[in-house]
Amino acid sequence: MTLRISVVGCGYLGATHAACMAELGFDVLGLDVDRERIDALSDGNVPFYEPGLEPLLRKHVESGRLSFTTSYAEAAEFADVHFVCVSTPQRDGDFAADLSHVHRVVDELAPLLTRPCVVVGKSTVPAGTAEGLAYRIAELSPVDDAAELAWNPEFLREGHAVEDTLRPDRLVFGVAGPNRRGEPGRAEDVLREIYADPIAAGTPVVVSDYPTAELAKVAANAFLATKISFINAMAELCEATGGDVTVLADAIGHDPRIGRRFLNAGLGFGGGCLPKDIRAFMARAGELGVGEALTFLREVDAINQRRRERVVEIAGELLTRPWPGSRIAVLGAAFKPDSDDIRDSPALNVAGRLHLHGAHVTVYDPQAMDGARRLWPTLHYADSVPDACAGAHVVLVLTEWQQFREMDPYLLADVVEQPAIVDARNCLNPAKWRAAGWTYRGVGR
Ligand code: UDX
């Protein structure tokens, strides 16, 4: 019989996972405590912007393979496998991860697990969490160790979430050792069955213990953050020496040991994952008594924060008038293109700083306007690039949307007051913009 799946937590990760599990051929029940979200998803509406997700959701809601509920009892009754996809945000007032959602899910679900099943954690958690949850499930579940826990970290990128879930570049299965009776668990086999399609298509599987699986996620994000901050540190060196960091990235990126991807210098990283994950990782290392191992991540964070101020400085250098009274167009509010996510968005952070200097800041983003308006109601907003740039003394490109990459510098020169542009993502062709009469400034070039 085909496995039935529940997905607990239908935010970004969970909604995507639920739709993709249905696409892989399983009957799926999504669970969330947010009634509004469940109603939207049940109607086939995705409450955030993710390319390709809504058609997939609709397809499977209509086929009846995917449905949603707010009831834990229903999910427990329905599924053989329960994926835990709730968020683990940064705790208020410190660096550590807030695990209250994960704990609540286990406390609600475990007592209702009355038949053999596998609970699969996907949320990003500090190393050591899974072991504690496994004990808790054994303690609360009426079926004792027939309810197993596995850890299967999620590596999906926003903007590519569907593709990353259906065709992941690797799968990590953190599983428990043999049970008290010396019998091996079923979790690995169950996960292999669920991911049979991607595995058949060549996705490698790494099987590990719990802590290694938990670490795999945060270590990957720490590495990616370090790679970005490394190239941004090189951007500082390029600015000091007159070098060009984009060419430098090509020069070192051709070395396959280094690789060119994630070597784009600019405004640095933001979003709901990288910043909070490296901080939670440092906090956890401190708790484990190995804080020194990760002190370099403080530097990674500091380099990243410096980019934001540096872009403001460059904008100031281009202005020929004081901040108050200057009109600035900000193109981009999302933390990266193809997303409406503004969590820790470097773009909005810069827009806010410019505003606090006294400038009149007008923001345009193809998808993130609603969120931006809520977070920064004191900024001005326009419905298009030309409207945002009308009368501007300087234009800043802060998120590298395709639409911004393709802007015509000649047309835009006609609407601004002064043709000056800061390309904070190094995504424009400087020669083209200069030829059209613009003063062009990238970062680290
Ligand atoms: C990241 C990880 O990539 C993913 O594996 C994990 O599951 C969640 O966190 P995401 O937050 O969606 O994914 O974004 P990502 O594409 O990694 O970009 C993160 C940030 O780094 C963005 O703000 C982006 O603009 C920035 N970035 C990325 C750079 O500044 N330079 C680069 O070269 C690449």
The verdict on the CB of residue 67 being under 6 Å from ligand 1 is: no
Question: Rounded to an integer, what distance in angstroms lies between the CA atom of residue 354 and that of residue 197?
Answer: 49
Burial of 277 (0-12, 13-18, 19+ CB in 10 A): buried
Q: Which residues contact 184 (CB under 8 A, 6 or more apart)?
A: 178
pLDDT digits (tens, 9 = 90+) for 357-404: 999 999 999 999 999 999 999 999 999 999 999 999 999 999 999 999
Q: Looking at residue 340, what is its pLDDT?
A: 96
- Is the shortest distance between the CB of 230 and ligand 1 below 6 Å? no
Tell me how far the alpha carbon of residue 295 lies from the centroid of ligand 1, in angstroms.
21
Q: Is 232 in the pocket of ligand 1 (CB under 6 A)?
A: no
Buried b (16+ CB within 10 A) or exposed e, 224-245: bbbbbbbbbbbbbebbeeeebb
* pLDDT score at 1: 78
Nearest by Cα to 262 from 299, 232, 301: 232
Q: Whose CA is nearest to atom 15 of ligand 1?
A: 157
Which residue's CA lies nearest to atom 6 of ligand 1?
155
Q: Whose CA is nearest to atom 7 of ligand 1?
A: 155
Domains parsed from the chain with CATH numbers: 4-208 (3.40.50.720), 217-302 (1.10.1040.10), 305-441 (3.40.50.720)
| Strands (DSSP E) found in 332-409 | 360-364, 380-381, 394-397
In this structure, the residue with its CA closest to atom 32 of ligand 1 is 262
Atom of ligand 1 at shortest range from CA of 336? 25
In short, whether 269's Cβ falls inside 6 Å of ligand 1 is yes
Q: Tell me the CB-side half-sphere exposure of residue 232, using CA atoms within 13 A.
A: 26
Flag residues of the chain having pLDDT under 70.
none
CA angle, corner 435, sides to 429 and 437, nearest 5? 110
Ramachandran region, residue 37 (left: φ > 0; alpha: ψ -120 to 50; beta: rest): alpha
Measured distance CA(129)–CA(272) in Å, rounded = 20
pLDDT of residue 57: 98
pLDDT at 145: 86
One-letter amino acid at 91 equals: R
Coil, helix or strand at residue 313: helix
Residue nearest to atom 27 of ligand 1 (CA): 269
Annotated active-site positions, please?
Answer: 273
Is the C-beta atom of 123 inside 6 A of ligand 1? Answer: no
The encoded tokens of residue 431 equal 């020669």
- Edge to edge, the sheet with strand 27-31 lists 66-69, 27-31, 4-8, 81-84, 117-121, 147-151, 171-175, 205-208
336 CB under 6 A from ligand 1?
A: yes
CA 91 to centroid of ligand 1, rounded, Å: 21
* Nearest CA, atom 16, ligand 1: 157
Centre of ligand 1 from the C-alpha of residue 124, in Å: 15
**Probe ligand 1: pick from 246, 281, 336, max atoms within 8 Å of CB?**
336
Q: How far is the CA of 132 from the centre of ligand 1 (A)?
A: 30
Specify whether the CB–CB gap between 194 and 24 falls below 8 A.
Answer: yes
pLDDT of the residue at 192 = 98
